[in-house]
Chain A
C-alpha cells in the first residue's frame, strides 16, 4: 500500500512538473483563458478586455526559451464569436526593468503604467485561419531579457493580451517552452497572474482550481469574482481550512468577501475551487482575483508555490478522564 501511495505521489509530481508551464495549468482544470474585444459587453465575462500573465525563468536556466500561444486569433474553433468575427487581439511581451516591479503592472485593472518594461514582441491577431487551433510561438527569448526578481523566483516576462477591436471573445492558452515547436516545460519555470480571466468548463460538476499565493505579509484576503453567473459554488480550502464558502457573483455582477489568514497558511497557496453547478451554462467566462488587506493583488501561480494545499485537519482536544 505504501508503495502504491509513493508511486501515485511520484506520478503526480511528475505530471505536475511536466505541465508546469501550461497556462492554465492542468491541475487548475480551466480550459481556456479569455479576453474579449474592447467593444464587447462586460456581461460576456471580461471586465477590462485585458489579461496580463507573467512568466518566471529560473536564474539557473540559460538556454533560449519560447512563449507559445494556442489559438491566438479570434474566431474559428475555440473562440466566442458574436455575429461575425471582426475582433482583434494584441499580444505584447515585455521584459526588462519595471516589467513586474512596476506597481501598475501588478494591479488587477489595466491602468497607469501597466505596460511597463521593454517591449520585446508585439503581434496583433485577427480572424486568421492559419492560427486557428494552432500554436503561435514567440521567441527565442533570452532569460536576461526579463526583469530579475528574487520575489518571483527568476527573470520575469510579462505577456499582455488585449482585445483591441471588436466584441468577440478570444479563447487561448499559453505554454512556456524550451522548444519553438513543442511544449517542453522549463525546469523551474513558472507562470502567474494577479487577475484571472478564464472560461469555465462547459460540463456540470466540474471543479476549477486557482491558487493564490499567501506571503508572510498577508493578514487577510479579499476574493473578487465577476460574472460567475451563480454557476455552482466557490469554496476555499487551505492547510487550515476546508470548504470555506465564498461569495459568488451573478451575471455581470461582482461578488467579494474577506477571509482572514491564519499563521499556518502563510507561505502557502490557497485552493479556491469554482464548482460548477448542475445548470448547463456553456460559455461561462469569469474574472477572479484576490487582494490582501492593503488591496494589493495576490499572484496565482500556475504551479502552486509549496504545492497544492492539503488540509491538515482540525485538532480536537478532549479532556482526559481520570
Chain B
C-alpha cells in the first residue's frame, strides 16, 4: 500500500519542483581531449585518471594532461581501468591490449595480439593477478612481475562483459547470457579456469557489472537494468532478483559502482542513479541527469574520490563533478524567472509564494499538492509573507493589497480589513503574538485582534521613529521588535515604544529582517549598511569590511549551530559567531539567482531560500569540513628558467641563480581555493603566510644548501602533506677544504723552497762573503795599515801640535805666582783643544783668561792659537783697566784675520771668552766676558756676573762689550769656565748636565780648598759622563782672592 501511495505521488501530479545540482565540468577547456568517458580511477597521489576514446587524461585539480600511444599506452582507446591493491593502475584497450601506470609512468602490459576485441572489465584475484576480460576473446591475466596466461573462450558462444572475484577467489564472469562461475587453479601444466556453475537468472541477459557492496553483498546488474544479489547456499551460488522501488522507465545500464554505502548505476539514457538496497529493493535516492542540471542523460561511469567528490563520466559531455551538496536547487520553470517571494516550511509541507500564486508541495518528494491562485481569492499581487496561526489558518501579506487569511479547511482567501488607507495595504511582514496579528505597513504597525477583529496602530504618533515598517519580529520572551526606515530599532514593551539608536541615532537605516540568536540577542539586516546586533541597548555592525558579500542584506536566520545566514542579491553570507568568521557563497556554489527580501525560512537543519527563480535549500547536516589533507606536490623546479628533475637533489656549481618552484596541492574538492605555505631553508627564517600563488621564485641565490619545503591547505584549511627538494649550490673553490689544504701545502712548499733557496743562496753568499771578506780583509788590512800609518802620522803631528799648544799655556808655577789659590780643570776632548787658558800680569794687576774657541780638536786648536796671539796683542795698560777693550780688539782682529764678512758663505768661527783682571791693591776685579759669566762665591753665596751676549768673531751687528767691576774680599772665590762642562751628556738620564747642575756642583765645592775643588769637579765630571763620550773641551778655572 505504501508503495502504491508513493507511486501515485510520483505519477499523479503534473507539476513538481525539479531539483538541480551544481555540477562542474572537465572538458576540452580543461584539456580533456575526448568527452566520452569510459573509466575513472584515482591513484595514490590523488590524480584522477580519465579513460577516453582518445587517450587517458590525468586531472590534477586544475587541468588535464593527456597521454596517448606515444606516451607508452598500448592504444588511444581505453575501454576499462582498474586500481590494484598495490596502487598500480591498469588499463584495457579496445583491441584487447593493456597498459599499466606505475612508478609515475605508463608502460605496455600486452599489446593485445590475438585478442582483437575490447577489454570490458579488469579485476584482481587474491594472489594479485590482474585479470582482463575481453568481450569476445575471454580472459587473460598479468602480474606486476610480468607473469601471464590466456584463457580464450572459457565458455562457448558467449561474449564477456564483466568480472568479479570474491574473497573465496571465485570468479563471477558476466556474459551476454548471464553469469558463470569459475575457479582458478594452477597445475603442473599451467593455470586452469574451471567452470563450476551457471547462475540461473530469469532471462539470458548481458551482465553489465558485477560488484561488491560494502563487502557483504555481491550485486549484478544487466544491460537493461535487471538487478540481482548473488547468494551462496549449500555450496553453490544463486541469484536473487531485486526490483527497483521507484524506477518508472527502461534503463540501459553501462556500469554499477559501489561507494559510501550507495550503489551508483550509470545509464545511457537516464543519467546516474544513486541507489540503496533495502529488503530486496533498489531505492533510487537521487538522479543525476538532465532534469537535475547535468548536461546529458548519457552516463557511462562514475566514481567517488577520496574526498567524497562524485565524478560522473558522461558519454559526450566530459567528466562532471558534484561535491557534497551544501545547497540543493529547485526550479519550477528553469527557463523563465519565477520569483518566490516567500517560503514557509514544516516537516511535511512546503509553501512557496510568488506573484498571485501560492503552491503547496509535499516536502519529502517536492511534488505539488495544490496551487492557490486568484480563483482562491489571492489578489494579483506579490505575496510578501506567509504565516500559520496555532489553528492552522494561513495568513498572507501582499505588496499592495493588504492581508488575507485562508481559514483551515476552506479554499478561499478572505481579506482582513485593517484600514482604508492605501499605505496600510503595502505589507512587508506579519507576525502573530498570542491572539494578535501584527502587520508591518508603510503606514505604521497595525495590531489586529484575531478574535474580535479590533485594530490598533503604532506609528510616529505613538512613538515609532517612522511610519514605514520594514519588519516585525516576536522574540522568545514575546517582546516585539520593529524595524523601520529610520535611525532606530524599536521595541514594543508594555504598550510603550522604546527606540534604540542604531548608529548613534544619526543615520537612517532601512531594516529588512530581524532574528534572535540563542543568547536572546537581536540581529537585524539593513539595506545598505550591513548586519547589526542589538546588545545591551546598543547596536554593533558587521559589514563588507568584516567579510559580508554585500552591505545590502535581505533575509536573516540563525540556525541551531548558532550560524547566522544572511541573503544578499549576490549570494549568501554565513557568520560563525563562535570563531567570528564569515563564509560566503556565490556563483561558485551555483547560487546564480538573486535572493529575495524576506524569502527565507528555517526548519531544524534546513534553511530554505526563495530566489528570483526557484528555491535553494541549505542543509547543515551536509556542511562539514573537508578533512582529507590535500596531497602536496612539486610540479616543476626551474633554475635560471631551465627545468630540473624534481625527484632528486639538485647540485649546482658556484654561481648566482634564480630558483623557481611550481607547486600543487592536489585536492579535487574546491581545487581553486587551495593555499600554500612554504619555506626555503637556508634562506628564509620562517614559513610564509598562506598564499594562493602556485609558482614561487627566489632570485640571486648563491652558495649554500637549501631545502624548499611546501605544504598545501584545502579550501577548508586542512593541512596537506609536505613536499620538499634540496638544492645545493657549491661553494667557490676558494672556500672549500681541499683548497685550504692545497693552499697550506702550497704555502708550506713555497716556504720550504724559499727557505731552501735562501739557504743555498745564503751558503753561496756566505762563501762569496768569505771570499769577499778575505779579499776585503786583505784590502782592509792593507788600508788599515795605510790608515794606521797615516793616523800615526797625523796623530804624531797633532801630538806635536799639542806640545805647541801646551807651550802657549802658562806654566803652573807662573799661575800659582799670580793666583796662589787656584785650580784649573782642563780636559780637552781631543789631543788638541779649542779651549785654552792664559794668565799674565801688568803692573799690579793680574790677568786670567778662559777662552772657548769654536770647534774642538784640530780646528779648535787652530782657533785657540789665533785667539792666543790676538789676546797677547790686545794686552796693554789701557786694556787691562778696561778688559772689554781686549774683547773689542780680539773681535775685530778675528774678523780681520779670518776675513769674516756678513755673507752667508763666510765662516763664523770665533770664541767665547771670560777675562778677569785682579787689582789686589784695591781689592777689585774687573771682568769682561763674551758669552761667558763670572761666578763669585763669598762665604758660600754665589754671585753671577753675566758676560755680554756676543761671541767674538762671526757676525758683528755692532757688537759691544762691557767691563764689570766688583769689589772682592779675601776668601772670595771666582770661577770662569767654558761651556764644555755643563754641556756634557751623562748622569742618570743620559742627558745634558746644564748650567743648573754645574752651579750646584760649584755651590757644593766652593767651600773646599782649591785643590780639593779641582778633584771634586773632576770627580763629578767623570761620574756624570760615565762611559759616554766627552762632548766638548772642558775648562773650569777657579781662583781664590
Contacts and interface: CB of A to CB of B under 8 A. Distances in A.
B118 A62 contact: no
Name, among B34, B35, B53, the residue most crowded by chain A CB atoms within 10 Å (CB to CB): B53
Nearest to A95: B94
Contact of B296 (A64, A98, A142): A64
B159 A119 contact: yes
A97 B116 contact: yes
27 contacts: A62-B34, A63-B316, A64-B36, A64-B298, A64-B315, A64-B316, A96-B94, A96-B95, A96-B117, A96-B118, A97-B95, A97-B116, A118-B94, A118-B118, A118-B135, A119-B117, A122-B176, A122-B206, A140-B296, A140-B315, A142-B316, A144-B34, A144-B53, A144-B76, A144-B77, A145-B36, A145-B77
Contacts of A275: none
B95 A144 contact: no
A62 B94 CA distance: 18
B139 interface: no
Interface string A54-98: 000000001110000000000000000000000000000000111
A118 B75 CA distance: 15
A142 B36 CA distance: 6
Interface of B: 34-36, 52-54, 76-77, 94-95, 116-118, 135-136, 159, 176, 206, 268-269, 296, 298, 315-317
Q: Which 8 A-B pairs have the closest CB atoms?
A: A144-B53, A64-B316, A142-B36, A140-B298, A140-B315, A142-B53, A118-B118, A96-B94
Nearest to B52: A144
A144 B116 contact: no
B272 to A, nearest CB: 14
Given A140-B316, A145-B36, 5 more contacts: A64-B36, A97-B95, A119-B159, A142-B53, A142-B316
A180 interface: yes
A139 interface: yes
A62 B35 contact: yes
Contacts of A64: 36, 296, 298, 315-317
A98 B298 CA distance: 26
Nearest to A130: B250
Contacts of B268: 139-140
A143 B76 CA distance: 13
Nearest to A65: B316
A119 B176 CA distance: 11
Contacts of A62: 34-35
Contacts of B94: 96-97, 118, 145
A150 to B, nearest CB: 17
Interface string A139-155: 11011110000000000
Contacts, number: 53
Contacts of B35: 62
Contacts of B95: 96-97
A9 to B, nearest CB: 35
A77 B95 CA distance: 41
Given A62-B34, A122-B176, A142 B315 contact: yes
Contacts of B317: 64
Interface residues of A, number: 16
B790 to A, nearest CB: 127
B315 to A, nearest CB: 5
Nearest to A155: B53
Contacts of A96: 77, 94-95, 117-118
B611 to A, nearest CB: 31
A122 B206 CA distance: 10
Contact of A118 (B34, B76, B117): B117
Nearest to B38: A142
A144 B52 CA distance: 9
Contacts of A144: 34, 36, 52-54, 76-77
A122 B136 CA distance: 14
A206 B451 CA distance: 86
Nearest to A120: B118
B53 to A, nearest CB: 3
Nearest to B118: A118
Contacts of A139: 268, 298
A119 B160 CA distance: 11
Contact of A119 (B36, B136, B315): B136
Interface in A107-149: 118-119, 122, 139-140, 142-145
A121 to B, nearest CB: 9
A294 B159 CA distance: 35
A63 B95 CA distance: 22
Nearest to B28: A62
A62, A98, A140, A145, most chain B CB atoms within 10 A: A140
B390 to A, nearest CB: 52
Nearest to B53: A144
Contacts of B316: 63-64, 140, 142
Nearest to A145: B53
A48 to B, nearest CB: 21
A139 B316 CA distance: 11
A62 B298 CA distance: 15
Contacts of A63: 316
B269 A180 contact: yes
B499 to A, nearest CB: 64
Max count, chain A CB within 10 A of own CB: residue among B77, B95, B136, B317: B77
Contacts of B206: 122
A195 to B, nearest CB: 25
Nearest to A144: B53
Contacts of B159: 119
Contacts of B54: 144
B135 A119 contact: yes
A118 B176 CA distance: 14
A184 to B, nearest CB: 14
Contacts of A119: 117, 135-136, 159
Contacts of B298: 64, 139-140
A143 B95 CA distance: 16
A268 to B, nearest CB: 34
A180 B315 CA distance: 13
Interface string A281-307: 000000000000000000000000000
A139 B95 CA distance: 21
Nearest to B315: A140
Nearest to A63: B316
B1040 to A, nearest CB: 147
Contacts of B36: 64, 142, 144-145
B134 to A, nearest CB: 10
A132 B929 CA distance: 168
A143 B35 CA distance: 11
A180 to B, nearest CB: 7
A64 B316 CA distance: 5
A183 to B, nearest CB: 17
A119 B117 CA distance: 8
Contacts of A142: 34, 36, 53, 315-316
B664 to A, nearest CB: 29
A180 B267 CA distance: 14
A44 to B, nearest CB: 29
A122 B204 CA distance: 13
Nearest to B76: A144
Nearest to A180: B269
B116 A98 contact: yes
A122 B177 CA distance: 12
A138 B850 CA distance: 154
Nearest to B95: A97
B156 to A, nearest CB: 16
A120 to B, nearest CB: 9
Nearest to B224: A123
A198 B298 CA distance: 33
Contacts of B136: 119
A237 to B, nearest CB: 41
A47 to B, nearest CB: 26
A321 B571 CA distance: 93
Nearest to A141: B315
Contacts of B296: 64, 140
A62 B53 CA distance: 11
